[in-house]
């Protein structure tokens, strides 16, 4: 029996997070393995892993669609996958993760014997400039004079430099953290750690090292409390463009939801009520449309760049995103600005090498100035105008769609929502519709939300009207699927699709495609980007509410009918077990 720890997380932090956790837990138990799963959701960290559990684990599974901080697992083999695969191919995921386990993980020890000690250290000051590097130099010189081995990681404004490796931390007898800012110490679980100020290390490195040997404390299980405060400190070089885009979308989404709902609330008083200055509808529109929606693109671009280049990417990314807004390049321009800023900032950070005496200029002057100037100039003179023209053409095309073209677009977007039920294709359709909200194009958003609701609703209805085709467990899950469907959580269909993909997936794709096509053809518009049936209760949030509800009902019935036609009744043995 192996010991496994896992983390599940998706951009919205809702259904996929929890469904992946449940699938991993149940399957690992059936395979005879011990597993503990931490869930990172929109509500924060649920069931956080304790340091003792991580130390005892044989392997770590990270099932996530966004970047998950992994420094606390630095001494463990880590297997990464998507939440969708963790749900649909759970056994294969666990088998591949366990295949990573080689030799037994050595136990952490704190050694104070006669042989030279091996020390790892972190230095960090609030500005991340002079004191950070002075403390590092002082510790290196003092340790070298004693014949000790030392490796120092500096955490400055350009991110982590000389980052400690897994092998260095494994071999270390002692950890010294000289910092005046928060430093994540969860990766040092089981090690003897001494914490002090960066000034103390600069003024008296010898005293710091002596105190570390005498007063250092072995970190215990209470470090799990720091999980909520973990922040991304390293560039996500292991992840590709899709992961960077999802990171930006995950930070943008709360702004879109809050802004969209506030705009919808302003319509409660009438579609044109916000035009009267000084009124509550005008205030709601100013907050939602004037502030939240204007921040949407800069935040998207800023955190795409942050995912690529760490802190150096944030400034040019935010500014590039704001330029995209000012140049009318919209969300397409924001995506371009984010990737441009991120890769430019990362290249400058790695390419510019300065003498130690001038290193302090790099994070506060050189990198922000150069990366912002390059990104801004490219956006203004090269990217902005053509992207703005492309967005304007796309917006005009979408707003002027004839019935036939609207049906085709609705079919495509609707089908995409059901193909992988919350996976990359689903999120691509959703991101496309959300981005168009800033261009006052609301029809795709209506089609996408309606199509995302019908898969779990159709399955829930099928479990009621065709009970002989579903096991008792599936019929019980039907109730939960109905609630998820009403809440616009397409992932509610995943358990059914995983069990019978050949019949379930075609059924829900057809149902969602028809729903999307009907929504577009009937001229339905939606100003709020999430919320399902609860948003429909807001007056004027949806144009043609009755017809919109009809498209959802029709798609649900089509899905249910196809399920009944394609799924065979349970055999007598299966029915008896059910």
Count of CB atoms situated within 10 Å of the CB of 377? 12
How far, in Å, CA of 453 to CA of 281, rounded? 29
Is 265 within 8 Å of 258 (Cβ atoms)?
no
How far, in Å, CA of 412 to CA of 429, rounded? 9
DSSP letter at 313 equals: H
How far, in Å, CA of 419 to CA of 422, rounded? 9
What is the widest separation between alpha-carbon atoms in the chain? 83
Measured in degrees and rounded to the nearest 5, phi and psi for residue 270 equal 125, 145
Measured in degrees and rounded to the nearest 5, phi and psi for residue 150 equal -145, 145
Is 210 within 8 Å of 191 (Cβ atoms)?
no
Q: Please, what sign has the CA dihedral across residues 180, 181, 182, 183?
A: negative
- Which SS3 state, helix, strand or coil, does residue 351 take? helix
What is the layout of strands, in order, in the sheet containing 192-196?
Answer: 159-161, 149-156, 118-124, 174-179, 192-196, 217-218
Active-site residue flag, 524: no
- Which SS3 state, helix, strand or coil, does residue 302 take? helix
Which entry of 59, 94, 97, 125 is annotated as an active-site residue?
125
Is 550 within 8 Å of 518 (Cβ atoms)?
yes
Q: List Cβ neighbours of 52 (8 Å cut-off, separation of 6 or more).
A: 189, 220, 221
How far, in Å, CA of 578 to CA of 259, rounded? 47
Rounded CA Rg of the chain: 27
Of the candidates 84, 88, 90, 102, the residue with the CA atom closest to the CA atom of residue 30: 90
Measured in degrees and rounded to the nearest 5, phi and psi for residue 155 equal -110, 95
Of the candidates 434, 430, 126, 58, the residue with the CA atom closest to the CA atom of residue 259: 434
How far, in Å, CA of 119 to CA of 139, rounded? 10
Of the candidates 211, 168, 162, 215, the residue with the CA atom closest to the CA atom of residue 188: 168
Residue 263: HSE in the Cβ half-sphere, 13 Å Cα cutoff: 24
Any idea what the Cα angle at residue 192 is, between residues 189 and 195, rounded to 5°?
Answer: 95
Count of CB atoms situated within 10 Å of the CB of 18? 18
Of the candidates 410, 418, 414, the residue with the CA atom closest to the CA atom of residue 491: 418
434 CB burial (10 A radius; 0-12, 13-18, 19+) = buried
Query: How many residues are present in the chain?
Result: 578
Tell me the β-bridge partners of 3: 34
- DSSP H or E run through 36: strand 34-41
Any idea what the Cα angle at residue 329 is, between residues 327 and 333, rounded to 5°?
Answer: 120
The catalytic site residues sit at 125
């Amino acid at each position: 029996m192996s010991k496994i720890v896992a983390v599940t997380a998706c951009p919205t932090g809702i259904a996929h997070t929890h469904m992946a956790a449940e699938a991993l837990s149940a399957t690992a138990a059936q395979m005879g393995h011990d597993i503990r799963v931490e869930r990172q959701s929109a509500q924060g960290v649920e069931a956080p892993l304790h340091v003792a559990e991580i130390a005892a684990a044989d392997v770590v599974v990270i099932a996530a669609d966004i970047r998950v901080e992994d420094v606390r697992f630095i001494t463990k083999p880590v297997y990464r996958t998507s939440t969708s695969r963790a749900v649909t191919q759970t056994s294969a995921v666990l088998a591949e993760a366990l295949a990573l386990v080689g030799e037994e993980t050595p136990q952490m020890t704190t050694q104070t014997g006669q042989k030279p000690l091996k020390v790892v250290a972190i230095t960090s000051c609030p500005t991340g400039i002079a004191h950070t590097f002075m403390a590092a130099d002082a510790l290196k010189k003092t340790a070298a004079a004693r014949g000790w081995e030392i490796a120092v990681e500096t955490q400055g404004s350009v991110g982590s430099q000389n980052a400690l490796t897994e092998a260095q931390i494994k071999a270390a007898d002692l950890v010294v953290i000289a910092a005046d800012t928060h430093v994540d110490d969860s990766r040092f679980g089981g090690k003897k750690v001494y914490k002090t100020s960066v000034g103390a290390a600069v003024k008296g490195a010898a005293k710091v090292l002596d105190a570390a040997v005498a007063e250092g404390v072995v970190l215990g299980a209470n470090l799990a409390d720091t999980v909520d405060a973990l922040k991304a400190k390293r560039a996500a070089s292991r992840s590709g463009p899709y992961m960077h885009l999802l990171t930006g979308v995950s930070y943008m989404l709360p702004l879109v939801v809050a802004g969209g709902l506030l705009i919808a609330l302003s319509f409660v008083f009438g579609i044109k009520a916000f035009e009267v200055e000084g009124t509550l509808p005008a205030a709601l529109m100013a907050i939602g449309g004037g502030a939240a929606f204007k921040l949407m693109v800069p935040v998207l671009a800023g955190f795409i760049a942050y995912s690529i280049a760490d802190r150096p990417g944030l400034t040019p990314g935010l500014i590039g995103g704001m330029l995209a807004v000012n140049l009318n390049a919209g969300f397409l321009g924001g995506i371009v600005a984010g990737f441009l800023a991120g890769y430019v900032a990362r290249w400058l950070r790695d390419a510019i090498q300065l003498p130690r005496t001038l290193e302090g200029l790099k994070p506060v002057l050189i990198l922000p100035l150069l990366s912002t100037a390059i990104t801004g100039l490219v956006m203004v003179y090269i990217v902005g105008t053509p992207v703005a023209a492309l967005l304007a053409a796309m917006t005009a095309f979408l707003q002027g769609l004839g019935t036939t073209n609207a049906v085709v677009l609705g079919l495509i977007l609707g089908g995409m929502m059901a193909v992988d039920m919350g996976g990359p294709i689903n999120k691509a359709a959703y991101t496309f519709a959300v981005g168009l909200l800033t261009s006052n194009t609301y029809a795709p958003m209506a089609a996408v939300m309606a199509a995302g609701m019908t898969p779990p609703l159709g399955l829930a209805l099928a479990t009621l009207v065709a009970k002989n085709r579903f096991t008792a467990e599936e019929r019980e899950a039907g109730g939960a699927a109905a609630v998820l469907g009403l809440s616009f959580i397409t992932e509610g269909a995943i358990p059914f699709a995983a069990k019978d993909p050949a019949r379930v997936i075609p059924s829900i794709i057809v149902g969602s495609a028809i729903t999307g096509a009907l929504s577009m053809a009937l001229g339905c518009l939606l100003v709020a980007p999430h919320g399902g049936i609860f948003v429909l209760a807001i007056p004027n949030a949806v144009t043609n509410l009755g017809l919109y509800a009809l498209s959802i009902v029709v798609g649900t019935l089509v899905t249910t009918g196809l399920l009944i036609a394609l799924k065979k009744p349970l055999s007598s043995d299966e029915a008896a077990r059910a």
